[in-house]
Amino acid sequence: MKRKKVLIVYATAGIGHKKAALAVKKAFDELNPAEAEASMIDALDYTNAFFKWIYLKVYLLMVNRLPLLWGALYYFTDNPLINFIVAPMRRMNNHLNSGKFRKFLTQMKPDVVICTHFFATEVIADMKEKGALKTHLITVVTDYKLHAWWIEDGVDTYVVGGDDAGNDLLRWKVPAEKIKVLGIPVEPVFSKALDREKALKAAGLKEGVFTVLVIGGGFGVGPIEEIVKAIGSVSKPVQAIAICGHNEHLARRLEELKKRFSATVKVLGFVDNVYDYMEVSDILISKSGGITVSESLAKELPMIVIAPIIGQETRNSDYLASNRAALKLDKAEDLKGVLEGLASDPSKAEALKEAVRRIRKPRACYDVARLAIDFCAGN
């Protein structure tokens, strides 16, 4: 029997979209279905070099250097009237810069496409509507609230992280039968129990001490120094892990800073086993990107979010806070009192964990892969 072709597509505009795609690919390979085989590409690799460069650079510039401008653009373009005006121009721009991508799709003729970024969704949906491509299009929304950029008539199935995003789709008049609330895919390892004792030993940490995990993302951004200072000032026994990503300057600063504290602070650069550190932690302090949130939910790890970037991060943190699965603070100065309370009263942390358990969907990567497999088996 000839195996059907499943194409998983992301776009490198932030790391989260790629991580979601990779999670689905790993789950697909683990399931190893007889009906289908999967491949994965970055859609931006099939655009011209300038478009790819500017697409990523503008996004990173805005979220890291011009967050207020990014927030204004994010909410402005989410207005239905503005989207109605702007969407045709955006689609035209994407069409002009996606020639190689469209050619690749017409030659490959995938039976199913799974998209984790709206750029690819928009291009493929447009091709479907024009009769240039026949495929089953699954779009995985990688945040917990929806934005107008994701809305396309040519999408056959939307996968969303929770009921909030599902209700957003309904408000955009997307038929309920197109909506699957399966969660945001994270790598399979996050859904599996790990050796806590081994992870504690490897990190040089003690069992029974309240443990705080601080993550600054791949680039080590955010008020990490202020957060570590707050941890160091807590009077109750605490220990911390600070992951600085590729920010070597920050790592050096924290190594100097931690000498002032009695608390144990483990400073790390870029790591590819964050799940081990989540396994041994009681609370995560981090940005509220969709994938980071989903990884923490999968590991039953509640979050503290401090001053999220206006836009998708504020919406993600609002989703967590409304479900009582995270604490949202306006500034790092408020952190000391919160950590004092959590470290001194285990029931507070346990209440947060219980809320996490109610909304977590740790096996989303498998469920998305099975969506594609089921379609291939039935067609």
The reported pLDDT for the residue numbered 379 is: 82
Q: Which residues of the chain have a pLDDT value below 70?
A: 1, 217-221
- In the numeric block, the tokens 């984790």 are attached to 116
The reported pLDDT for the residue numbered 56 is: 86
Q: What is the C-alpha separation between 326 and 378, in angstroms, rounded? A: 41
* Structural contact between residues 361 and 190, judged by C-beta atoms closer than 8 angstroms: no
Phi, psi for 312 (deg, rounded to 5): -65, -30
Three-state secondary-structure class, residue 356: helix
Residue 35 neighbours by CB distance under 10 Å: 18
Q: What is the C-alpha separation between 117 and 97, in angstroms, rounded? A: 16
Distance of CA 58 to the CA centre of its chain: 19
The reported pLDDT for the residue numbered 217 is: 67
User: 225-254, pLDDT tens digit by residue?
Assistant: 999 999 999 999 999 999 998 889 999 999
Distance of CA 78 to the CA centre of its chain: 20
From the list 66, 116, 339, the residue with the least C-alpha distance to 214 is 339
Q: What is the C-alpha separation between 372 and 111, in angstroms, rounded? A: 9
140 and 52 in a single domain? The answer is yes
Boundaries of domain holding 242: 189-359
DSSP code, position 143: S
Q: What is the C-alpha separation between 214 and 225, in angstroms, rounded? A: 10
246 and 297 in a single domain? The answer is yes
Q: What is the C-alpha separation between 101 and 113, in angstroms, rounded? A: 13
155 and 27 in a single domain? The answer is yes
199 and 338 in a single domain? The answer is yes
Q: What is the C-alpha separation between 183 and 162, in angstroms, rounded? A: 6
- In the numeric block, the tokens 């289908």 are attached to 36
Q: What is the CATH number of the domain that holds 79?
A: 3.40.50.2000
243 and 355 in a single domain? The answer is yes
Three-state secondary-structure class, residue 242: strand
Residue 379 tokens, joined: 């067609």
199 and 134 in a single domain? The answer is no
For 122-135, the DSSP string reads HHHHHHHHTTS---
265 and 345 in a single domain? The answer is yes
Kindly state the helix (H) or strand (E) to which residue 93 belongs, with its residue range: helix 80-96
* Structural contact between residues 186 and 362, judged by C-beta atoms closer than 8 angstroms: yes
Q: What are the residues facing 113 on neighbouring strands?
A: 7, 137
The reported pLDDT for the residue numbered 202 is: 87
Q: Which residues have C-beta within 8 Å of that of residue 222, sequence separation ≥ 6?
A: 216, 286, 287, 306, 307
The reported pLDDT for the residue numbered 1 is: 67
117 and 204 in a single domain? The answer is no
Phi, psi for 265 (deg, rounded to 5): -125, 115
From the list 38, 154, 44, 156, the residue with the least C-alpha distance to 101 is 44
107 and 202 in a single domain? The answer is no
Q: What is the C-alpha separation between 14 and 289, in angstroms, rounded? A: 10
The reported pLDDT for the residue numbered 245 is: 86
- In the numeric block, the tokens 């209700």 are attached to 167
Q: What is the C-alpha separation between 220 and 334, in angstroms, rounded? A: 21
120 and 222 in a single domain? The answer is no
Q: What is the C-alpha separation between 292 and 17, in angstroms, rounded? A: 11
113 and 234 in a single domain? The answer is no
Q: Give the chain's end-to-end CA distance (angstroms, integer).
A: 13
The reported pLDDT for the residue numbered 193 is: 86
193 and 307 in a single domain? The answer is yes
The reported pLDDT for the residue numbered 41 is: 98
Residue 130 tokens, joined: 């024009």
Domains contained in the chain, number: 2
Q: What is the C-alpha separation between 89 and 94, in angstroms, rounded? A: 9
